[in-house]
Amino acid sequence: MTEFETAQLAIMNAELVNSSIGNFQSQTEIMYQQIALGHSLLFGYLLAAYFIGAALTRPQLFILNALYLILSVANVLGYIVVSLVMIELQTNLEMVKKMDTIDAATTSAFAWPTALMQILMILASLYFMWTVRKPKKE
């Protein structure tokens, strides 16, 4: 292999690493947007439950809950997909260039508990709506 070919191979490798890091950063941004969207949905639902939950009719409650669940489940699934893509990107990047973990948020040790926490928050918000609609009688 000539000097030129060796240099060209090194440049191609560096471009691959830079491209992988760029993809990784884009996926990180998308992941954090998914989390922010989930929190926005959660707090919007909690506000609706607190202020108008007791006054909603059954059909209105059904529509509100159905829309909230559909959007929230889609958001959690989107988060899981983005997390899996990031784990794959991190694995590929570590194979191309021996380096330590780039971001702890991309490992499955962080991704799965975060997804579980999002699901628990959805269930807690539904329980909150239930308690607003059916207050304890003293």
Rounded mean pLDDT, 55-70: 95
Residue 11 corresponds to which tokens in the numbers above?
A: 């440049």
At residue 55, the 3 state secondary structure works out as helix
Residue 57 has a pLDDT of 93
pLDDT surpassing 60 at residue 104:
no
Token pair 């699934």 is at which residue?
77
Residue 89 · residue 27 · CB < 8 Å: yes
Residue 91 · residue 101 · CB < 8 Å: no
Average pLDDT, the chain: 85
pLDDT surpassing 70 at residue 87:
yes
Rounded mean pLDDT, 28-45: 91
Rounded mean pLDDT, 62-76: 95
Output 66 or 87, whichever has higher pLDDT.
Answer: 66
14-23, 24-33, 114-123: least confidently modelled range: 14-23
Residue 94 corresponds to which tokens in the numbers above?
A: 């570590």
Residue 45 · residue 122 · CB < 8 Å: no
pLDDT surpassing 80 at residue 107:
no
In angstroms, the CA 31 to CA 133 distance is 34
Rounded mean pLDDT, 125-129: 95
pLDDT surpassing 90 at residue 38:
yes
Residue in 56, 36, 38, 22 with CA at minimum distance from that of residue 125: 38
- Greatest mean pLDDT among 12-16, 52-56, 85-89 lies in 52-56
Token pair 């928050």 is at which residue?
121
